[in-house]
Structure 1
Amino acid sequence: MSNTTLILLGAGSSSRFETDVKKQWLYTGETPLWLQVAEHFERSARFEKIIIVSTRDEIRFMQHFASYTFVEGGDTRQASLKHALAEVTSTHVLVSDIARCCVPATMIQRIMEAKEAASCIVPVLPVTDTLYHDNAPIDREKVQIIQTPQLSVTEMLKKALDTETLFTDDSSAMASLGEKIHFVAGSPDAHKLTTVADLQKLPCLKEPSAKTLTGFGLDIHPFEAGREMFLCGVKIDVDYGFKAHSDGDVGIHALIDALLGAAGMGDIGELYPDTEECYAGANSKKLLADTVSRIRSYGYEIGNIDLSILAQAPKILPYKEAMRQTLASLLGIRKNFVNIKATTAEELGFVGRKEGVTVHAVANLTYLNWKKI
């Protein structure tokens, strides 16, 4: 058993990436970036534990992919690291950023093999350009570019971070205690993914799979007198609505489940539980917009949707075009990719007795082709 824990940090907002998708959710083949990085480290060295640091919502989804230890991050890199270190009991800890996604195995091995050389092992690159500081040239032979991952003695790193001072990396924190830092050769391939332009500098990233992912959704709501009816985002001109915790838009609810099903993200009750007061009377169009935002941030694109509305009443035909336009706008796709079918129940069952409506929905997703960004 190794006496080293791996911490991979990925709780940032990806604000400098300037796209809808978070960079840790770019897909290479059928694997999200964060998982590719974790599996690469796992193949390259032995670890007592692997900790992934991310946001609460992302962790909920990440747990569908792998059984690592997941820790919710903080407001800063340092806060996130301190949260993760609370879970570490091993002698050493190797810390890297998920955005440092193409670290060569040989570089990881160099760092691990040097663990007894100092309290902190740091990969570095030489500076090849001329440097100026305060309008004067400086000796570039005395300057190095610091990379991650960095290996530290766990207890010393915990002590170094027990301060209000913010450090840009682990070695800076360790140096503040006067601890010895040992440098090993880094690699130009271990370039950090910060902006879209960086994608061209990362040789380990392969283009995403062209697979289509399909999800199915189903929802049922009974009628209730004295409520407004909304169906597929459109107000229906009747004197009754749906009995529900939210506005009861059965069409949108089925569609949300279909989208979540295609992405493998659970169901509408997990994201928007009817036990929470904040969703009482909720506008389902807002729930759909939030779902679409989540799906895109996790690296998916919406292809097309198909809804079947089973209703003896009300009549759907007069509203179908408005429904298509509304849903297309919310989904960010052309309305020809939104199909709505309506049928009666031939007076059979609760739908036939005009007691409620059932909607079946199918949605198709593809992985965002980031090579075309």
Structure 2
Amino acid sequence: MPNQPRTAAILVAAGRGLRAGAGGPKQYRSIGGQPVIYRAMYPFSTHPQISAVQPVVNPDDAGVFDAAVRGLRYTPAVKGGATRQASVHAGLEALAAAKPDIVLIHDAARPFVSASLISRAIDAAAATGAAIPAIPVADTIKLVDGNGRIEATPERARLRIAQTPQSFRFDAILEAHRRAAREGRDDFTDDAALAEWVGLTVATFEGDAANMKLTTPEDFVREEARLASLLGDVRSGTGYDVHAFGDGDHLMICGIRVPHTRGFLAHSDGDVGLHALVDAILGALADGDIGSHFPPSDMKWKGAASDKFLKYAVERVTSRGGRIANLEVTLICERPKIGPLRDQMRARIAEITGLDISRVAVKATTSERLGFTGREEGIAATACATIRLPWDDKGPV
């Protein structure tokens, strides 16, 4: 689209989240089988209007951050500050050289942001220069003094709950943060308040009640239950693949390179384990098979790495609002010996799919020297995938 504003997003993830209870910083804890921060970043990383995603993290969390968001599109994370305000400022300065037109600032503790909310934030900033998502207040609010006595009852119709992503014209919010830093103001609880302080008019747009912030242990319990109820369409699928041996000095099995006296005869890299998993996932979705999505007649898949196929299958699940609950693959061969490589293969599959390794199983067996696998003419693999999809009003989607 001509003249479309260049939009960047900042993901604020440097906090410690102490009110969320034990288990480390809340943004790296699991919710619905995925890290909170992965869920929060994924909609920005995949949104077609977002040109850059800038995470801001605590340097002590660098390793866990990399593991949690593996596979997503983002620019190198920058070090956060002692306050949320300082962390946002660090993210803005990191983006300054790229000079985006609009920036969206989002809290990593809000993992249920939707693509439609992101689109509304971009449109609102383009129209007004500064805007935040807001939802009406359902309960009566009381203003109390230090002793807990009611001082006033604000008019509920005028009250709103502020959310993120808050969206701004980039140059305006960057200058606002720079001015606050120069004047020693570090007490703003959100970017809208800082924008108001420098004289910007901040508009509101329609927020999303599901876009709630995870703060307490009870929030995690409630949202886990909500996600489980939404993903009630549980499905399973099976897959099978086989490849004959040919010339070569290694095999690709479950995403890792395994030295061997032979190679695979295959159009792609011949990874029987990943191919079987792809078919299992597509089978659970009732979405064809690997050959219908990646036909061998298409030369662009000649020699292709099979992790691309598996990532594609996972994206077919997530695009429908679902998630993968478990993956299992069984390799059937005499050689190479799979046992010593089992955990390395599980880790690689977990890395490709974004699953926790506890949800990935790799098994192996021989055919007791019977058949083509017993004669060491090739390798076969079977796989099973369990997925969970959301229900709509008419049943499973």
Question: If the TM-score is normalised by the length of the shorter chain, which range does it land in?
Answer: 0.5 to 0.7
Q: 2:185 matched to 1:182?
A: no
Indicate whether 1:78 and 2:94 are aligned: no
Deviation at 1:55, TM superposition (A): 1.5
Q: Which amino acid aligns with 1:4?
A: T
Deviates more, 1:138-147 or 1:63-72: 63-72
Q: Residues 29 and 23 from structure 1, CA distance in 2 versus in 1: closer, same or farther, beyond 3 angstroms?
A: same
Alignment partner, residue 68 of structure 1: 74
Supply the AA of the counterpart residue of 2:50: F
1:153 corresponds in structure 2 to 169
Rounded Cα–Cα distance in structure 2 between residues aligned with 1:263 and 1:79: 36
Distance 1:63 1:181, change over 3 A: same
What stretches of structure 1 of length at least 5 have no aligned partner? 213-258, 265-298, 302-373
Distance 1:211 1:27 in 2: 18
Counterpart of 2:157 (choices 141, 150, 157) is: 141
Q: Select the structure of larger CA radius of gyration.
A: 1
Task: Tell me the CA shift for residue 128 of structure 1.
Answer: 1.7
Q: How does 1:1-373 map to 2 (within 5 A)?
A: 3-27=6-30, 31-63=34-66, 65-66=70-71, 68-69=74-75, 70-88=77-95, 89-134=99-144, 135=150, 136-162=152-178, 163=180, 164-165=184-185, 166-199=187-220, 200-201=222-223, 203=226, 209=325
Q: Quote the Cα distance in structure 2 between the aligned partners of 1:204 and 1:86.
A: 36
TM-score (norm 1): 0.53
**Distance in 2 (alpha carbons) for counterparts of 1:300 and 1:53:** 26
Q: Report the AA paired with residue 192 of structure 2.
A: S
Amino acid at match of 1:77: R
Q: How large is the Cα RMSD of the aligned pairs?
A: 3.4
Alpha carbons of 1:208 and 1:9: their partners in 2 closer, same or farther (altered >3 Å)?
farther
Q: Percent of counterpart pairs with the same letter? A: 27
Q: Which amino acid aligns with 2:20?
A: F
Counterpart CA distance in 2 for 1:184 and 1:149 is 11
Equivalent residue, structure 2, for 1:215 = none
Deviations 1:238-294 (A, max 9, x none): xxxxxxxxxxxxxxxxxxxxx999989xxxxxxxxxxxxxxxxxxxxxxxxxxxxxx
Question: What are the Cα deviations for residues 168-194 of structure 1, in whole angstroms up to 9, with x where unaligned?
Answer: 111111111111211101111001011
Structure 2, unmatched stretches of 5+, are 145-149, 232-322, 329-342, 349-355, 359-397
Task: Give the letter aligned to residue 78 of structure 2.
Answer: V
8 Å contact kept, 1:111–1:122: yes
Distance in 1, Cα, partners of 2:202 & 2:139: 24
CA contact (8 A) 1:17 1:194 kept: yes
The DSSP-based 3-state class of the residue aligned with 1:116 is helix
Instruction: Give the length in aligned residue pairs.
Output: 226
Distance of 1:260 and 1:18 partners within structure 2: 32
Q: Is the 1:122–1:171 Cα contact (8 Å) retained in structure 2?
A: yes
Whether the 8 Å contact between 1:122 and 1:151 is mirrored in structure 2 is yes
- On the 8 A contact 2:14/2:87 being kept in 1, the answer is yes
Please state how far the C-alpha of 1:137 moved relative to its aligned partner: 1.6
Q: State how far apart, in whole Å, the 1-side matches of 2:122 and 2:42 are.
A: 17
- Cα gap change, 1:41/1:54 in structure 2, threshold over 3 Å: closer, same or farther? same
In structure 2, the partner of 1:255 is: none
TM-score, normalised by the number of residues in structure 2: 0.50
